[in-house]
Chains A and B, each alone.
Chain A
Amino acid sequence: MSFTTFIQHCLTGISLGGAYALIAVGYTMVYGILRLINFAHGDIFMMAGYFMIFAMVSLPWAVAIPVVIIATVILGVAIERVAYKPLRTAPRMSIMISAIGVSYLLQNLATYLFTALPKAYPTIPLLKKIFQIGDISASLVTFITPVLTIALVIGLVMMINHTKIGMAMRAVSKDFETSQLMGIKINTVISMTFIIGSALAAVGSILYFTDRMSVTPFSGTLPGLKCFVAAVLGGIGSIPGAVVGGFIIGICETALVALGYSTFSDAFTFVLLIIMLLFKPTGLFGEKIIDKV
């Protein structure tokens, strides 16, 4: 493999990893606060793709992007209000089943509304601009994705560590009930979590689909599962962990395809999950959980 080919593969892998990282952060945050694996997250990502298609029909891309982010946030918060909030005191299993239900609801709703035929994702001219450095050629979105991902995550970590709402989030994730007793409005905190998670999913969706150009009702399923694996790999509940996990999976997947094992690229992700759970169930950056008696 020549050097330029290698660099080209690296670019592809890092860019894919960046998009995965943004989605994985959504999984990990909701888990950190609610101890819930939000299986609908991948489908929120898919819906964001459809929102973009419809927004771009009548709006210029600079307006469409914020519109899509806001619409996705509304969807995410609405799902929390309708499907998760009523089950807050229910056993954790019920709320997880509810999440799976929402996931299927969104998929089938999308099939019903937009048909199962792939819809072309609109081109954002700026992001699609092709850059050529020597023999390496890639569009701007490939370069922007990892940079934007890291910038957003740094911003998010700053917010969690240095603002009042961030402090409240940390408190809620440590102890749900005590923080409620301390006067933290947990509903606001949870809504905020879903707002951030959905907004990141929307940004991830714009970056991911700009590179891949077609949306179907099921295009959120596999990325969703892979990002869930990424979150577990990094240690679910840990934001830097999710980012590292996302990049690892993106790069490994690309590397496997590059070496000619495209047949196994999907299987690899899930084998990685099994190995991780067997040998280090808390993930790379996960906290050790001490069961209190």
Chain B
Amino acid sequence: MKRILAIVLAMVLALGLMAGCGDSSNGNDASAPAADNGASASDAPADDGAASSDKVIKIGVFEPITGENGGGGFQEVLGVRYANQVVPTVDIGGETYSIELVEVDNKSDKTEAVTAAQSLMSSGVAVVLGSYGSGVSIAAGEIFAENQIPAIGCSCTNPQVTLGNDFYFRVCFLDPFQGTVMANYASQEGATKAAVITQLGDDYSSGLGNFFLKAFKELGGEIVAEEQFQTNQTDFKAILTNIKAAEPDVIFAPSSIATAPLLIKQARELGITAKIMAGDTWENATIIENAGEDAEGIVISTFFDENDSANTTAADFVKGFKEFLNATPDYLSKNGGDGVAAVSALGYDAYMAAIEAIKAADSTDPVAIRDALKTVELNGVTGSITFDENGDANKDMAFIKTVEGGEFKFLKTVTISE
């Protein structure tokens, strides 16, 4: 009897282990079948030439679906999936290749990111899109460079992502720019004292915080408090109490979507009335949903505004993307309604940039695609995109938004010429 019980117990535990690996093996499952014919995609002409008329080129999607950035990462994936639905094929050398997305989950974690990137490499993708979050992109950057696969970042804004990496490109603006924009905005609004809250060990958060700090000081402002918190921390009362004592006019707190509502609510609970500002990550409906009334008045900078009617590409995208979202209830609920997030637009632009490069290279060879990327000119949803010598998009405009009446309202655009 006891033995039977022990066996049952062991089986239950083993099951638990398998459930645990479920997420990572999902990623592997997705790439496993890809690995079989993946080899044929990278050196396509060698084999299966006669047998298959449907040629496939693989595009890797390197995004966090789980972990602290899971929400925003999924919105970016949605942008890519929509783009894939709009343009499912590409012509190379007179032949039509269908495009297959290979999605992996980097779990918002630098260690997992390396594993995820490696599994993408072994599945034989020609180009990689992603990621949301700079830390994971920096961690995986080397692997892409070693394997000579070009990567196009969607919303990783830290300069380190593309710096010194010939294979990393990106379609968004950078943190030095974003930090300057927010510092300018704060000082235009009459703020002279600012507090900065950053996440320890997170490249995006500490990078953006620093750039804001530098720019704000240059504008003659004073930084009255600098606080840090740890990943997955949920209690910000102690640092917020210190900030309250310093009496800042504005609080700049670039952080993840998961952190934002906690921070906002706890600040208001402690009676802090200062304006709370953050970077592009906070443009997510779940923040308003979770923070409720307390979210009113927060200010963010972002890449894109869905009501911007000047750009016809953007207007078409918004219309199509909303239909795409409404067609699948699961997408709609995970997106938090049918609002169009800037990261979805960037995911779409990154995909289109990849397609343009593949067309220009007229080849499935990753290095040729990389070389073609340097010359790509794309009229994207988030503005026209060309890449500079670092692989960064030449962008000089940011959108400032605020929360009013339970939704994001466009405030103004800020242009800074460097």
Contacts and interface: CB of A to CB of B under 8 A. Distances in A.
B163 to A, nearest CB: 26
B8 to A, nearest CB: 9
Given A116-B67, A120-B290, A263-B228, A108 B22 contact: yes
A206 to B, nearest CB: 15
B270 interface: yes
B141 interface: no
Interface string B14-44: 0111011011000000000000000000000
B271 A137 contact: yes
Given A135-B271, A257-B239, 15 more contacts: A5-B245, A9-B241, A105-B19, A108-B19, A111-B66, A115-B66, A120-B286, A130-B269, A130-B271, A137-B269, A137-B271, A213-B261, A219-B232, A260-B242, A263-B200
Contacts of A188: none
Contacts of A282: none
B9 interface: yes
B112 to A, nearest CB: 11
B270 A218 contact: no
A139 to B, nearest CB: 5
A87 to B, nearest CB: 8
Interface residues of A, number: 49
A254 interface: yes
Contacts of A123: 292
The residue among A16, A82, A211 with the most chain B CB atoms within 10 A of its own CB is: A211
A213 B235 contact: no
Interface of A: 1-2, 4-5, 8-9, 12-13, 16, 82-83, 86, 98, 101, 104-105, 107-109, 111-112, 115-118, 120, 123, 130, 132, 135, 137-139, 211-214, 216, 218-219, 222, 254, 257-258, 260, 262-263, 265-266
Given A111-B23, A262-B227, A212 B239 contact: no
Given A83-B9, A263-B228, A5 B244 contact: yes
Contacts of B70: 115-117
Nearest to A136: B271
A212 B261 CA distance: 10
A138 to B, nearest CB: 7
Contacts of B310: none
Contacts of B237: 8, 12, 254
A270 to B, nearest CB: 14
Interface of B: 2, 5-6, 9, 12-13, 15-17, 19-20, 22-23, 66-68, 70-71, 107, 200, 227-230, 232, 234-235, 237-239, 241-242, 244-245, 258, 261-262, 265, 269-271, 286, 289-290, 292
Contacts of B68: 118
B3 to A, nearest CB: 10
The residue among B66, B237, B244 with the most chain A CB atoms within 10 A of its own CB is: B237
Given A109-B16, A214-B261, A258 B242 contact: yes
A40 to B, nearest CB: 11
B234 A2 contact: no
